[in-house]
């Protein structure tokens, strides 16, 4: 029989419902619905909104998920820095802090810095009370069962590292680990494209990765490797060595690192995707031309992605997300896809940019910590 957690899930999905509507949707008896809702109100998981005005014999007050029931800590680990934030349960950022720790510094230094930043943001006076959990994203595949990085190509020292245990031991709250493109994809879908249930977020920074949202949920793949398109081999580029050690990978041809190297060869020093982003922001013509060319090569692979999944949205993010990248992707994507695969497709640039992962992590944490099973368990103990 549906428990209070299932009633909360229904209300979260629908936004707000009256008691009468909960009755209708669940088919439970009036008494059972009443006891479920009372339990949720008492636990502070629901709030009642609106007036006590009675229409048709029923109070018209609406029940909503209490977005102030707790907070979420998020940490998005990027190649050169990490962003730690506190959000409410809707993913709205309350405070944020950038930590200058690089993924190459290894898991212990990075995670210790995340713990320090979390304590500073929460403030020592009230401890970690009210924090539902911490969600952390990393630039590599994550094993869906253990939350540990799974043979990440650009995260030296992180393979198999027990990230959840490290954070939970230090902070005393549950921890969730996600791939950065997965988190950003969900953030984009929930926040910028709520009416599109399928979305691919393609992150072009130091590497290239894709986050896939299908039916409103992140699709991770059997080993957490879904969307890791950066190491697809591109014909004709065997002379370029990828960070993974192989030759001719998409990331070796079209990533921020690849464009930075090409710019350096032209006498414009650049060592990272951020450097390329800075040239693009300045309107540098060489950076624009090389980024557009990178977009063309990327578009060839995105054509396969689009033909396979037929998403409603392709969102380009990361340091290279720019008009030239978008133009380049469109130049090869459309000619290489059937009209049916792209008829209702929107290809756009990320509007949330760096914050997409933060919003997505908050959504992942809330979906897990306030799932029917979690709430039923919490309220029965
Ligand atoms: Zn590679």
Q: pLDDT digits over 29-48, tens only?
A: 999 999 999 999 999 999 99
- Each residue's pLDDT tens digit, 102-124: 888 999 999 999 999 999 998 85
The yes-or-no verdict on residue 237 having pLDDT over 90 is: yes
The yes-or-no verdict on residue 55 having pLDDT over 60 is: no
Say what the pLDDT of residue 163 is: 98
Say what the pLDDT of residue 56 is: 59
Q: Average of pLDDT values for 15-33? A: 90
Tell me the pTM.
Answer: 0.91
Tell me the CA–centroid distance for residue 278 and ligand 1, in Å: 25
Tell me the CA–centroid distance for residue 347 and ligand 1, in Å: 25
Place of tokens 């029965």: 380
Tell me the CA–centroid distance for residue 74 and ligand 1, in Å: 28
Tell me the CA–centroid distance for residue 243 and ligand 1, in Å: 6
**DSSP track, 58-110:** EE--EEEE-TTS-EEEEEEE-SS-EEEEEE-TT--EEEEEEE---GGG-HHHH
The residue among 207, 263, 201 whose CA lies nearest residue 227 is 201
Nearest-5° Cα angle at 228, 303 to 199: 55
Q: Average of pLDDT values for 69-88? A: 93
Within 10 angstroms of residue 245's Cβ, the number of other Cβ atoms is 9
Say what the pLDDT of residue 52 is: 55
- Residue 195 tokens read as 């009416």
Residue 349 pLDDT class (50, 70, 90 cuts):
very high
Q: At what angle do helices 273-281 and 285-309 cross, to 10 degrees?
A: 110
Q: Coil, helix or strand for 281?
A: helix
Say what the pLDDT of residue 305 is: 96
Q: Average of pLDDT values for 135-160? A: 91
Say what the pLDDT of residue 123 is: 81
Tell me the CA–centroid distance for residue 86 and ligand 1, in Å: 34
- Rounded alpha-carbon distances, angstroms, from residue 374 to 185, 339, 347, 367: 24, 44, 37, 10
Residue 16 pLDDT class (50, 70, 90 cuts):
confident
Q: Average of pLDDT values for 217-245? A: 92
Tell me the CA–centroid distance for residue 154 and ligand 1, in Å: 9
Say what the pLDDT of residue 54 is: 57
Are the beta carbons of 177 and 198 closer than 8 angstroms? no
Tell me the CA–centroid distance for residue 207 and ligand 1, in Å: 9
Say what the pLDDT of residue 51 is: 63
The yes-or-no verdict on residue 58 having pLDDT over 70 is: no
Tell me the CA–centroid distance for residue 109 and ligand 1, in Å: 26
Tell me the CA–centroid distance for residue 139 and ligand 1, in Å: 14
Say what the pLDDT of residue 261 is: 96
Tell me the CA–centroid distance for residue 260 and ligand 1, in Å: 17
Tell me the C-alpha distance between 166 and 212, whole Å: 27
**Of 115-129, 267-281, 347-361, which gets the smallest average pLDDT?**
115-129
Are the beta carbons of 20 and 58 closer than 8 angstroms? yes
Tell me the CA–centroid distance for residue 381 and ligand 1, in Å: 48
Say what the pLDDT of residue 212 is: 97
- Phi-psi label, residue 157: left if phi above 0, alpha if psi -120 to 50, beta otherwise: left
Tell me the CA–centroid distance for residue 368 and ligand 1, in Å: 32
Percent of the chain with pLDDT strictly greater than 90: 80
Q: Give the residue, 158 or 27, on which the prediction is more confident.
A: 158
The torsion angles phi and psi of 48, rounded to 5 degrees, stand at: -100, 130
Are the beta carbons of 317 and 184 closer than 8 angstroms? yes
Q: Average of pLDDT values for 74-91? A: 93
Give me the half-sphere count of Cα atoms (radius 13 Å) on the Cβ side of residue 270.
28
Sheet-wide strand order for 208-214: 217-218, 208-214, 199-204, 313-317, 346-349
> How confident is the prediction for the chain on average, in pLDDT?
92
The yes-or-no verdict on residue 125 having pLDDT over 60 is: no
Tell me the CA–centroid distance for residue 258 and ligand 1, in Å: 12
The yes-or-no verdict on residue 61 having pLDDT over 90 is: no
- Each residue's pLDDT tens digit, 162-215: 999 999 999 999 999 999 999 999 999 999 999 999 999 999 998 999 999 999
Say what the pLDDT of residue 62 is: 92
The yes-or-no verdict on residue 264 having pLDDT over 70 is: yes
Tell me the CA–centroid distance for residue 95 and ligand 1, in Å: 36
Tell me the CA–centroid distance for residue 237 and ligand 1, in Å: 12
Say what the pLDDT of residue 128 is: 72
Q: Average of pLDDT values for 144-165? A: 92
Tell me the CA–centroid distance for residue 75 and ligand 1, in Å: 26
Tell me the C-alpha distance between 91 and 107, whole Å: 25
Tell me the CA–centroid distance for residue 186 and ligand 1, in Å: 25
In angstroms and rounded to an integer, the radius of gyration of the C-alpha atoms of the chain is 23
């Amino acid at each position: 029989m549906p428990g209070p957690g299932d009633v909360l899930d229904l209300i979260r999905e629908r936004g707000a419902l009256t008691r009468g509507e909960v009755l209708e949707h669940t088919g439970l008896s009036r008494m059972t619905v009443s006891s479920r809702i009372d339990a949720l109100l008492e636990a502070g998981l629901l709030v009642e909104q609106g007036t006590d005005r009675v229409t048709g014999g029923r109070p018209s007050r609406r029940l909503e998920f209490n977005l102030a029931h707790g907070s979420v800590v998020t940490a998005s680990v990027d190649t050169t820095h990490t962003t730690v934030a506190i959000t409410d349960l809707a993913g709205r950022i309350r405070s944020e802090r950038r930590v200058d720790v690089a993924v190459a510094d290894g898991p212990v230094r990075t995670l210790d810095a995340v713990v320090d930043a979390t304590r500073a943001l929460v403030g020592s006076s009230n401890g970690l009370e009210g924090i539902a959990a911490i969600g952390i994203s990393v630039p590599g595949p994550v094993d869906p069962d253990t939350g540990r990085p799974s043979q990440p190509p650009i995260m030296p020292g992180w393979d198999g590292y027990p990230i959840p245990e490290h954070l939970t031991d230090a902070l005393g709250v549950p921890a969730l680990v996600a791939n950065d493109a997965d988190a950003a994809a969900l953030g984009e879908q929930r926040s910028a494209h709520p009416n599109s249930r399928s979305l691919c977020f393609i992150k072009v920074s130091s590497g290239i990765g894709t986050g896939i949202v299908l039916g409103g949920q992140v699709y991770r793949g059997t080993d957490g490797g879904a969307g890791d398109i950066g190491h697809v081999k591109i014909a004709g580029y065997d002379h370029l060595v990828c960070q993974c050690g192989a030759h001719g990978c998409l990331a070796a041809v079209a990533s921020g690192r690849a464009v930075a190297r090409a710019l350096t060869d032209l006498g414009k020093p650049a060592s990272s995707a951020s450097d390329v982003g800075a040239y693009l922001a300045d309107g540098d013509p060489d950076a624009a031309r090389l980024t557009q060319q990178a977009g063309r090569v990327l578009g060839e692979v995105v054509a396969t992605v689009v033909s396979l999944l037929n998403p409603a949205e392709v969102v380009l993010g990361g340091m290279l997300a720019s008009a030239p990248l978008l133009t380049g992707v469109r130049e090869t994507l459309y000619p290489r896809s059937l009209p049916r695969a792209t008829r209702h497709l929107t290809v756009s640039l990320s509007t949330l940019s760096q914050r997409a992962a933060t919003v997505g992590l908050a959504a992942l944490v809330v979906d897990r910590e306030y799932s029917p099973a979690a709430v039923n368990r919490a309220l029965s103990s």
